Structure 1
Amino acid sequence: MSQVKSIQNSAMKRSTVALAVLFSIAAAYYIYLPLPSAISEPWKLMFMDAILRGVMHVSFLGHSLGLSQPFDFARLAASWDEVRGSEFIPGVRVTETTFAGVETQVFESTTVDAKSRLKRGIVYFHGGGWTLGSAKMQTYYLQCRSMAEQLDAVVLSIEYRLAPEARFPEQYNEALQVSKHILTADVLSRYSIDPKRVAVSGDSAGANLAAAVAQEMALDRTIPVKYKVQALLYPTLQALDFNTPSYQQNGNIPILHRPLMARFWLEYLNGDPKLVPVLLANNHSFPRQIIAAARSKVDWTRLLPASVQKTYQPVFPLQGDPELLEKLPGLLDVRAAPLLATTQTLRAVPPAYIMTIEHDVLRDDGLMYANRLREARVPVTHDHIPDGFHGCLSFAFGPFRFSSGFRSFRKYIHWLKENL
């Protein structure tokens, strides 16, 4: 009997070892991605991306089974990382309030003489594809707290509504209304903000809102206080061309994969998720005669240097869906796609800081906007992070810290100190 048990135990151990090996192989296969040699801390990035992809897969599976909205599980997972309540930290006071009905986290520098003088003000819109993210997430919370402390400033981090509860133009309208309200004399005096030193800023989809709001407010003659500068971190600025060199080069690079960016645009513009392949093939860029003017503003063969274009070729479909622009009118709406603004509009906007990331599908959106602003004679400072990935600045904080995140944050803070 003891011999039989010994054999059974031995077989069980072998089975356990075999399962462990198979699980390890499967996990390694899921985690491993071929990444460019120049990218910062590749194994850490692979591990983080595997977690994010897993969350997205579960989220989309729940939607396909009819159990939830497409990004519900991803939003639930992100909420676990939120900082709750207000607090006082040495040097910074953090409070929650509302402006024009929009929730806002306010980070106030509390230096000794803070009450006796006016401070810088920064209105900040977080990223997340208009669908995910929160001003209360640990990464954004720590980022804005550090901004307030290092810039001796008041940072107002906006908690705008997300898709599917709100779709374009609702997020844009919220961003515009809250910006107008913050720039009133009452709010500026309440927080001792210098009306001549207020910036609008954001990252990714938040930078999209920041750029769109900066354009609208620059043209509105009824607004007495204007933004002094705009600071855009790896902005998404157009949805007409998903085959720019950066989309072609970085389509499979974490953390923003090319199909996911198309999916975010469809969520924002209230489009059918089944249209992702259509966008990726540029089949929405049809008929050409209707969108010729818009296409000229995203013509990367003219707006990007040869060193960026490399050997990539434009993708022009021979045929597409001529009714798609009727289904998604936001594709040509400058409020959704600030890169499509006229030169006359761009001439009115404040000086810009634009950060781009080499290993990011959105790199060329930022590069093209910088060049269009320069053509409109708007002062532009462009910082490029050669070893970073999309969203890296936010990863100067929180549990996943990257060296490229620290460097990008330092560059961003340095420019704001010098120009705001």
Structure 2
Amino acid sequence: RSRCLWQKLAGGLWVASPLPPGCTGGPSRGRMRSSCVLLAALVALAAYYVYIPLPGAVSDPWKLMLLDATFRGAQQVSNLIHYLGLSHHLIALNFIIIAFGKKSAWSSAHVQVTDTDFDGVEVRVFEGSLKPGESLKRSVVYIHGGGWALASAKIRYYDELCAAMAEELNAVIVSIEYRLVPQVYFPEQIHDIARATKYFLRPEVLQKYKVDPGRIGISGDSAGGNLAAALGQQFIQDASLQNKLKLQALIYPVLQALDFNTPSYQQNVNTPILPRYVMVKYWVDYFKGNYDFVQAMIVNNHTSLDVKEAAALRARVNWTSLLPAAITKHYKPVVPATGDARIVQEIPELLDARSSPLIADQEVLRLLPKTYILTCEHDVLRDDGLMYAKRLESAGVDVTLDHFEDGFHGCMIFTSWPTNFSVGIRTRNSFIRWLDQNL
């Protein structure tokens, strides 16, 4: 059976010509060649899917590409499940996340871990050992991130973080398993964490866990940082509380939904792990809003100059005055003259300080306790944290701003193989060190 090879003639035309004598080949060689071609094509497709341009300064770029590709793949699978009508896409995505990372309660020589509930809200409690010579422990109430819809206090990433905090601080860490979208929507997540924290602050409960009522802080990352900031503002206005929080520690927090064109949103529009489009969708999901509004919100049509409801609040997210020139650089504000007033009329929660703590009144901010804010350069939420730090400082609050030039959103929970990042370890150590020095 004759076979051919391809030859390139003048002018760039490829034509078939017979193979030289003795080079006839056979079926097995043909199959092998086909397999090699298929394998090469699959490798090329995988590389194309995984590779995304990243700034040279970001921590462990190739590892970040792989992590991002894995998360994108899980999102696409969950979207397909949603499209087929099998489940809500957020429930499907969270099932995948928890399936790969859920961890049962455990105890070690240094930390005792217990799953229980505080006033009907599930919590995981990590009890560190008492320091020599002390009769009471410090404590942190921790709120996990995940866009108000994903993750759990019981997955490996948060389990390891809270265990490390309990051991290194000799503290009691209460990690709250609040309800998620789409089971509940704003403000139910705030109600859950408020109910659990109030229960924990009862004198008899603090006595049970041997906690010093004067040394309790609240903390959270991402959407958990949003909930921690909201709770901090709520508690300082609650005269019924006997015990107050000593400090708050906010890790790359989500703090406002008025401007999706801050310099960090413009700079990191497609940066892992949280592109701008995904963050805006999390906001819409949190409020059970209409996805038809997403594109309009991305260009700030919900807070355009003709939207009267937003007029009084724009100054509180005016990054041209709240951010330094080193951050604003060449970026320009996006403030449309006309937009879509229907968005805030149908989703008034966008302008609620309980969802956007950055827009709270100055009189509220000045009452807040000592604050730690961790921000990452390669994160759409960077400027939310920077602006909140500036507003708190202006209100007279003691603020520590901890910025990581090679950090990306979510990095602090990625500290163990195979998702161990250099900046993850450094951010976690810096966070715990600040707690140790200030709590």
Same-fold call, TM cutoff 0.5: yes
Conserved 8 A contact 1:269-1:330:
yes
Structure 1, unaligned stretches of length 5 or more?
none
1:322 offset after TM fit, Å?
1.1
* Higher RCO (C-alpha 8 Å, min separation 6): 1
Conserved 8 A contact 2:273-2:409:
yes
Conserved 8 A contact 2:102-2:156:
yes
Conserved 8 A contact 2:248-2:369:
yes
Q: Give the alignment partner of residue 317 of structure 1, picking from 333, 336, 342.
A: 336
- Matched residue of 1:97: which SS? strand
Q: Give the alignment partner of residue 267 of structure 2, picking from 249, 252, 273.
A: 249
1:175-194 aligned at under 5 Å gives the runs: 175-194=193-212
Deviations, residues 5-44 of structure 1 (Å, cap 9, x unaligned):
9611111111110110111111000000110011111000
Q: Give the alignment partner of residue 158 of structure 1, picking from 172, 176, 181.
A: 176
The list of structure 1 runs, each at least 4 consecutive aligned residues, that deviate by more than 6 angstroms after superposition, is none
> Partners of 2:168 and 2:258 in 1: how far apart?
38
Deviations, residues 276-304 of structure 1 (Å, cap 9, x unaligned):
21111111114343211111111101100
1:6-405 aligned at under 5 Å gives the runs: 7-111=26-130, 117-286=135-304, 287-397=306-416, 399-405=418-424
> Partners of 1:171 and 1:280 in 2: how far apart?
24
Letter in 1 for 2:226: N
Conserved 8 A contact 2:91-2:182:
no
Q: TM-score, normalised by structure 1?
A: 0.97
> Partners of 1:112 and 1:198 in 2: how far apart?
16
Letter in 1 for 2:82: H
Deviations, residues 40-90 of structure 1 (Å, cap 9, x unaligned):
110000011000001111112222332221222211111113444322112
Conserved 8 A contact 1:234-1:363:
yes
Conserved 8 A contact 1:91-1:111:
no
User: Which moves more between the two structures, 203-212 or 168-177?
Assistant: 168-177
> Partners of 1:12 and 1:180 in 2: how far apart?
68
Structure 2, unaligned stretches of length 5 or more?
2-21
- Matched residue of 2:312: which SS? helix
> Partners of 1:274 and 1:12 in 2: how far apart?
49
Q: Structure 1's 112 and 206: CA in aligned 2 closer, same or farther, altered over 3 A?
A: closer
- Matched residue of 2:402: which SS? strand
- Matched residue of 1:10: which SS? helix
Letter in 1 for 2:174: L
- Matched residue of 1:243: which SS? coil
Q: Structure 1's 66 and 274: CA in aligned 2 closer, same or farther, altered over 3 A?
A: farther
Deviations, residues 172-199 of structure 1 (Å, cap 9, x unaligned):
1111111111111011111001000000
1:318 offset after TM fit, Å?
2.7
> Partners of 2:353 and 2:126 in 1: how far apart?
31
Letter in 1 for 2:361: T
1:111 offset after TM fit, Å?
4.7
Letter in 1 for 2:186: F
1:317 offset after TM fit, Å?
1.8
Give the structure 1 partner of residue 11 of structure 2: none
Give the fraction of aligned pairs with identical amino acids, expressed as a percent: 47
Deviations, residues 347-383 of structure 1 (Å, cap 9, x unaligned):
1111100000000000000000000000100000000
- Matched residue of 2:26: which SS? helix
Q: Which has the larger radius of gyration?
A: 2
- Matched residue of 1:81: which SS? helix
Letter in 2 for 1:307: A
Alignment RMSD (CA, Å): 1.7
Deviations, residues 104-138 of structure 1 (Å, cap 9, x unaligned):
00000135759x61001100000000010100110
Give the structure 2 partner of residue 417 of structure 1: 436
> Partners of 1:150 and 1:270 in 2: how far apart?
40
Conserved 8 A contact 1:143-1:397:
no
Letter in 2 for 1:47: L
Q: TM-score, normalised by structure 2?
A: 0.92
Deviations, residues 216-269 of structure 1 (Å, cap 9, x unaligned):
101111101010000000000001111000000011111111111011111111
User: Which moves more between the two structures, 203-212 or 286-295?
Assistant: 286-295
